[in-house]
Amino acid sequence: MNKREFIKVAGLAGIAALVAPGCAGAAEAADGNKTLLALKPPFVLPELPYAVDALEPNIDKMTMEIHHGKHHAGYVTNLNKAVEQGAFAGLSLGDILTKVSAGDTAVRNNAGGHYNHSLFWKLMSAGKSEPSGELKKAIDTAFGSMDELKTKFADAGKGVFGSGWAWVIVKTDGSLAVTSTPNQDNPLMTNLAKDPGTPILGVDVWEHAYYLKYQNKRPDYLTAFWNVVNWTQVNELYTEALKK
């Protein structure tokens, strides 16, 4: 291999490294709910779209390592066991979430845990981004302002007793709303959700998501979360939800 060929190959390798698992490639960043909900068993733990320390100081490295590598991995393992046979065997993640009911405890908890976390990782980023003009307009219409949205979102997160999630959803009429769910439930679980809809933003308020850094100060965690929101992903999810 001559010098020119070496430089060419090295350059291609460098480009490939930029979009390798663990780094936020353009295609990966653009994946929305449609792609996630189409997944079928056996389900796998997705790679983080950034390094485990990329969200410092807002989300610490150790929390990310444990949250992704232990908690989320556990949901994936247990979900695969829960859907090996029976009514949920072979169904896509989206169909599982739509079908699951209160009596399907193992599937409910682990399918919710897998979906919620798979989305959550993509909703955060070390880079800077902004809501689109269309999304800003929808936020102003629904909440009055971005500050009001943040207040309502924080109130929803703080209001979860014990473990759960706070969400911004697109309702069936295309409007935005803030809601919360207990444990690993989410607004796509139409048999369970008090406010069904399509999530475009969500934050995990289980203690394992923040306790190593913020201890019992959940409001501080919820405030810091806005520093790492991946608005590029949220914009994509919003546009996708309006097409449904």
* Residue at a domain's end among 69, 98, 122: 122
How many Å apart are CA 76 and CA 225, to the nearest integer? 25
Give the structural domain span for 207.
133-242
Q: Which residue has the tokens 């065997």?
A: 89
What's the confidence (pLDDT) of residue 23?
A: 35
Which tens digit of pLDDT belongs to each residue from 121-147?
999 999 999 999 999 999 999 999 999
**Residue 32 pLDDT:** 86
Least confident of 18-27, 73-82, 234-243: 18-27
Residues 138, 117 share a domain = no
User: 142 and 59: one domain?
Assistant: no
pLDDT of the residue at 13: 35
Does residue 62 form part of some domain? yes
- Band the pLDDT of 236: cuts 50, 70, 90: very high
Mean pLDDT, rounded, for 211-235: 98
Would you tell me how many other CB atoms lie within 10 Å of the CB of residue 225?
25
* Mean predicted confidence (pLDDT) in 102-111: 98
More confident residue, 216 or 14: 216
Instruction: Report residue 31's pLDDT band, with 50, 70 and 90 as the boundaries.
Output: confident
Stretch 24-39: mean pLDDT, rounded? Answer: 68
Q: What pLDDT is stored for residue 8 in this prediction? A: 38
Residues 148 and 235 both lie in one domain? yes
pLDDT at position 110 over 50: yes
175 plus 215 within the same structural domain? yes
User: Is the pLDDT confidence value at 43 over 90?
Assistant: yes
Q: Using an 8 Å Cβ cutoff, are 55 and 120 in contact?
A: no
Residue 4 predicted with pLDDT over 50: no
Average pLDDT over residues 58-87: 98
Please indicate, yes or no, if residue 166 is contained in any of the structural domains: yes
Where is the domain boundary, 122, 157, 179?
122
What confidence category does residue 1 fall into, taking pLDDT thresholds of 50, 70 and 90?
A: very low
Mean pLDDT of the chain: 90
Over residues 12-35, the mean pLDDT reads: 46
- Quick one: angle between helices 218-225 and 146-158, nearest 10? 140
Query: For the chain, what is the domain count?
Result: 2
Question: What's 235's domain CATH number?
Answer: 3.55.40.20
pLDDT at 26: 31
159 and 211 assigned to the same domain? yes
Predicted pLDDT of residue 182:
98
Nearest 10 degrees: CA dihedral of 128, 133, 134, 138?
90
pLDDT at 181: 98
Asked if 220 and 116 touch (Cβ cutoff 8 Å), the reply is: no
- Model pLDDT for residues 51-70, shown as the tens digit of each residue: 999 999 999 999 999 999 99
The pLDDT assigned to 10 comes to 38
In CATH, what number is assigned to the domain containing residue 58?
A: 1.10.287.990
Angle at 10 between CA 9 and CA 15, to 5 degrees: 95
How would DSSP label each residue in 218-238? HHHHHHHHGGGB-HHHHHHHH
